[in-house]
Amino acid sequence: MTSSTTTPVLDRFRLDDRVAIVTGASSGLGVAFARALAEAGAHVVLAARREHKLADTRALVESVGRGALAVRADVSDPVDCQALVRAATEEFGRVDILVNNAGVGTAVPATRETPEQFRSVIDINLHGCYWMAQACAAVMKPGSSIINISSVLGLTTAGLPQAAYASSKAGLIGLTRDLAQQWTGRKGIRVNALAPGYFESEMTDQFEGDYIERMVIPRTLEQRLGHADELSAALIFLASDASSYVTGTTLPVEGGLLTT
């Protein structure tokens, strides 16, 4: 039987002076993640393809007194991933947390989806997470944390033709397990995934008609979309020492959608 820590429980959620990279930080959940990490005490490196949209996120991080660095990066390019991590270490001297949030969603019938369409989703949602994890693991110290943003659509279906998206998110859950197996014991890096349900975001704004009211809300025990701060709270748990005995797992945050 191991002895318990004497650190006060709320202090275990603090991220003071740690350095986090958030991909896909130009909009939606990426902005919420960056702000939450900063509020918990971390300096934040912000990455996205739309560099001009990172200014507002940077201002949010700096408004709570934390350092911020904005870097243009396409995570589907391993060279960009390496450059992003190099920029983070040059600015802050370390990387402690990676939030693999960059992703795209599509809804194309499988009989009409082209190879280029399918590959483009896999390249960003799955390959991009792998390239970022590789680059960060090379510089991370024991006690670091990688959080992959998967989806409930890696675990279930929801009425739209999303073969590429669902495949990428299911693959990310498998990648999470394997990287945890490789790196937790040997390198001291924990690797976990979040599986969000439906949250108010740019992605849900793109759904046509009454899809949310007809297909999502009736399957969700909470009978509503999630709020970004509810997902951010789970992210801080996985990023911090509060989850020091959690690795290789996928945490659904979906309002009960998976129970129906």
Model pLDDT for residues 73-86, shown as the tens digit of each residue? 999 999 999 999 99
Q: 218 versus 142: which is more confidently predicted? A: 142
Q: Match 């001297």 to its residue by tokens.
A: 93
Q: Are residues 25 and 58 in contact, defined by beta-carbon separation less than 8 angstroms?
A: no
Q: Give the separation between CA 230 and CA 254, rounded to whole angstroms.
A: 10
The answer, yes or no, to whether residue 4 has pLDDT greater than 70, is no
Catalytically annotated residue among 130, 165, 211, 245: 165
| pTM of the predicted model as reported, rounded to 2 decimal places | 0.94
Stated length of the chain: 260
β-strands 250-253, 19-23 pairing: unpaired
What would the pLDDT profile of 44-80 be if each residue is shown by its tens digit?
A: 999 999 888 899 999 999 999 999 999 999 999 999 9
Radius of gyration of the chain (CA): 18
Domain ranges of the chain: 9-251
Is pLDDT of 105 > 50? yes
115, amino acid identity = P
Contact between 129 and 115 under an 8 Å Cβ cutoff? The reply is: no
The CATH code for residues 9-251 is 3.40.50.720
Residue linked to tokens 């007194």: 65
Average pLDDT over residues 194-216: 78
**99-104 average pLDDT score:** 94
Residue 88: pLDDT over 90: yes
What pLDDT sits at residue 41?
98
Place 23 in a pLDDT band, splitting at 50, 70 and 90.
very high
Determine the Cα–Cα distance for residues 48 and 54; give it in Å rounded to an integer.
Answer: 7
CB 124 within 8 A of CB 48: no
What is the C-alpha separation between 182 and 189, in angstroms, rounded? 9
CA distance 236 to 97: 10
Whole-number Å distance between alpha carbons of 45 and 27: 14
Encode pLDDT of 208-245 as tens digits: 667 888 888 998 999 999 999 999 999 999 999 999 99
Q: Catalytic: 165? A: yes
Mean pLDDT across the chain: 93
Q: CA-CA distance, 171 to 150, in Å (whole number)?
A: 9
The dihedrals phi and psi of 184, each to the nearest 5 degrees, come to -65, -50
